[in-house]
């Protein structure tokens, strides 16, 4: 007799993880021999730079790198992360107490609430937003408090309402923002840090897209704001900067007590990053800015191809200033983002991400990733024209 096995109540509280459904639909369509143009999941289409692959190849050939990795990461990796922060943001980090390598920043974001959030503690979760902010809160049995990001406020949280939200243990913020591509100024971050101190709230700042920006100054680290380390940690990753999404190398840095809490969670659930990957990550972090600059130029060109192409066929879209996403209002013929995404896949073999996949406040939008070539973007525009 088989057991009657049911999902935990925590899992039942989670909304559907839409990217899994999108990947399933994509695989089914490809299995049917259809020519799919994937503007869905934000996964760079170009390979990791050769110098990083060569560093991995060299490190992987050494048996000394095949043992369990240190949970805290190699001291050299933590030094490289601190060195990169100093060069990029002019921010000083103590590599021993203020830096914790992660198996990709997603893992750390999801695990952070387990280290600092008690059952029923309030957590501010931006929506539309990256799904692990919500799922990590639910796993820790915290109480998610949705923080809407509205176009009328340039997809920034309402600072007055943030200030009024008393008794909040943790807030997630992400700029440059996925999925809306919005950016945050230093003045905005200064206000957020002030509110966090006033309300005794910890800030988890997701800065994974800081190196993809167009026509604007370099996006800041929250630690460029005086006193931010008193209340904040920042998540970062090599995934988008160096086309290393599958490598799973990221980190959290900042407030030493919060970093230590996450490190303790990780010590009980994983054994660290494969050491050869850490050495390859060091090679990436110690390189000059030529590869990220090359990627920025490429995404800038792709952005203009897509935005101008869609404008020419009547779909009015604001060009993003950062990230490799275009956040587009639904064409009037569609009633929901799910309906639109299904129509684009069924009728034109294009995968777009429905905005509702980032929370109910994402309804009314579609997200398009600039992770295909300009030729494929032109093909996508031609196919979209037939639907619109």
| Domain CATH code at residue 59 | 3.40.640.10
The domain tally of the chain equals 2
Q: Which range marks the domain in which residue 184 is found?
A: 51-285
The pLDDT value given to residue 2? 75
Alpha-carbon gap, residue 132 to 152, rounded angstroms = 25
* CATH label of the domain that carries residue 367: 3.90.1150.10
Determine if residue 220 is left, alpha or beta; phi over 0 gives left, psi from -120 to 50 gives alpha, anything else beta.
Answer: beta
Structural domain ending residue among the three candidates 285, 305, 329: 285
Which band of pLDDT confidence, cut at 50, 70 and 90, is reported for residue 349? very high
pLDDT of residue 295: 96
- Give the pTM: 0.94
Over residues 159-164, the mean pLDDT reads 95
Same-domain check for residues 88 and 138: yes
Task: Say whether pLDDT at 23 is over 80.
Answer: no
Per residue in 172-198, pLDDT tens?
Answer: 999 999 999 999 999 999 999 999 999
Q: State the Cα–Cα distance between residues 171 and 137, nearest whole angstrom.
A: 10
2 in any annotated domain: no
Report, as an integer, the average pLDDT of 310-330: 95
Closest by CA to 244, choosing from 103, 370, 60, is 103
- Rounded to 5 degrees, φ, ψ at 172 are -100, 135
Q: Are residues 132 and 228 in the same domain?
A: yes
Q: Please give the backbone phi and psi of residue 142, each rounded to the nearest 5 degrees, phi first.
A: -75, 175
Would you state the pLDDT for residue 302? 97
The pLDDT value recorded for residue 10 is: 87
Of 267, 285, 303, which marks where a domain is finished?
A: 285
- The reported pLDDT for the residue numbered 4 is 83
Q: Is the dihedral of CA 343, 344, 348, 351 positive or negative?
A: negative
The pLDDT value given to residue 194: 97
Q: Is 16 among the domain residues?
A: yes
* Nearest by Cα to 357 from 16, 10, 5: 16
| Confidence bin at 151 (pLDDT 50/70/90) | very high
Judged by average pLDDT, the poorest of 44-48, 98-102, 224-228, 367-371 is: 44-48
Phi first, then psi: give them for residue 214, nearest 5 degrees. -140, 135
Reply yes or no on whether the pLDDT at 41 is more than 90: no
Kindly state whether residue 1 falls inside one of the protein's structural domains.
no
Say yes or no to pLDDT of 84 above 80. yes
Question: Are 259 and 319 in the same domain?
Answer: no
Residue whose C-alpha is closest to residue 307's, from 378, 234, 228: 378
For the chain, what is the mean pLDDT? 94
Q: Is the Cβ–Cβ distance between 92 and 119 less than 8 Å?
A: no
pLDDT of residue 135: 95
* Pair 253, 178 in one domain: yes
Are 231 and 271 found together in one domain?
yes
In this structure, is residue 294 part of a structural domain? yes
Q: In this structure, are 230 and 84 located in the same domain?
A: yes
Grade residue 166 by pLDDT with cuts at 50, 70 and 90. very high
Domain contains 172? yes
Query: Given pLDDT bands bounded at 50, 70 and 90, which one contains residue 164?
Result: very high
Contact criterion met (CB below 8 Å) for 211 and 240 = yes
Check whether 1 has a pLDDT greater than 80. Answer: no
- pLDDT for 24: 81
Do residue 110 and residue 14 come from a single domain? no
User: Domain for residue 91, yes or no?
Assistant: yes
Q: How many residues does the chain have?
A: 388
Q: Provide the pLDDT for residue 7.
A: 87
Distances in Å between the Cα of 285 and the Cα atoms of 45, 47, 208, 242 are 21, 17, 14, 9
Domain match, 234 and 353 both: no
Please tell me whether residues 278 and 364 are part of one structural domain. Answer: no
Instruction: Give percent of the chain above pLDDT 90.
Output: 84
Q: What is the mean pLDDT of residues 264-281?
A: 95
Among 41-45, 214-218, 300-304, the range of highest mean pLDDT: 300-304
State residue 57's pLDDT score.
96
The whole-number average pLDDT for the span 126-147 is 96
pLDDT at residue number 144: 97
Residue 187: CB partners within 8 Å, gap ≥ 6? none
Residue pLDDT, tens place only, 60-72: 999 998 998 888 8
175 with 259, same domain: the answer is yes
Q: Which of 155, 229, 157, 156 is nearest to 193 (CA)?
A: 229
Residue 4 lies in a domain: no
Lowest mean pLDDT among 39-48, 150-159, 259-268: 39-48
For residue 369, what pLDDT band results from cuts at 50, 70 and 90? very high
Segment 297-306 mean pLDDT: 96
Residues 118 and 20 occupy one common structural domain: no
- Do residues 378 and 296 share a domain? yes
Question: Which of the listed residues 285, 310, 325 is the one where a domain comes to its end?
Answer: 285
Query: Pairing between strand 232-237 and 202-206?
Result: parallel
Asked if the structure places residue 250 within a domain, the reply is: yes
Q: What is the largest distance, in Å, between two alpha-carbon atoms of the chain?
A: 64
pLDDT, position 241: 94
């Amino acid at each position: 007799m088989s057991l009657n096995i049911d999902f935990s109540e925590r899992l039942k509280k989670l909304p559907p993880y839409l990217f899994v459904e999108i990947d399933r639909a994509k695989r089914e369509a490809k299995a049917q021999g259809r020519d799919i143009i994937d503007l869905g999941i934000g996964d760079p289409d170009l390979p990791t730079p050769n110098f990083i692959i060569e560093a991995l190849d060299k490190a992987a050939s050494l048996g000394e790198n095949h043992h369990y990795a240190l949970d805290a990461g190699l001291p050299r990796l933590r030094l490289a992360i601190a060195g990169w922060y100093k060069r990029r943001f002019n921010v000083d980090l103590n590599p021993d107490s203020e830096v914790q390598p992660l198996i990709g920043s997603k893992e750390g974001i999801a695990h952070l609430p387990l280290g600092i959030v008690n059952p029923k503690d309030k957590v501010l979760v931006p929506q539309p937003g990256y799904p692990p902010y919500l799922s990590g809160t639910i796993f820790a049995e915290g109480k998610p408090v949705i923080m809407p990001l509205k176009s009328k406020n340039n997809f920034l949280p309402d600072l007055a309402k943030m200030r009024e939200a008393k008794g909040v243990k943790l807030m997630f913020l992400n700029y440059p923002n996925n999925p809306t591509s919005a950016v945050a100024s230093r003045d905005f971050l200064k206000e957020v840090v002030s509110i966090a101190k006033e309300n005794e709230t910890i800030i988890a700042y997701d800065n994974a897209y800081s190196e993809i920006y167009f026509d604007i100054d370099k996006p800041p680290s929250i630690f460029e704001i005086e006193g931010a380390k008193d209340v904040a940690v920042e998540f970062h990753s090599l995934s988008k900067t160096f086309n290393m999404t599958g490598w799973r190398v990221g980190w959290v840095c900042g407030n030493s007590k919060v970093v230590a809490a996450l490190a303790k969670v990780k010590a009980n659930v994983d054994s660290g990053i494969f050491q050869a990957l850490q050495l390859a990550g060091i090679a990436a972090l110690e390189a000059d800015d030529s590869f990220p600059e090359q990627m920025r130029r490429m995404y800038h060109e792709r952005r203009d191809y897509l935005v101008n192409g869609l404008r020419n066929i009547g779909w009015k879209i604001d060009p993003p200033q950062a990230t490799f996403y275009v956040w587009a209002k639904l064409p009037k013929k569609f009633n929901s983002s799910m309906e639109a995404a299904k129509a684009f896949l069924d009728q034109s073999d294009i995968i777009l991400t429905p905005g509702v996949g980032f929370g109910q406040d994402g309804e009314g939008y579609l997200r398009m990733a600039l992770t295909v070539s300009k030729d494929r973007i032109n093909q996508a525009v031609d196919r979209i024209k037939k639907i619109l």
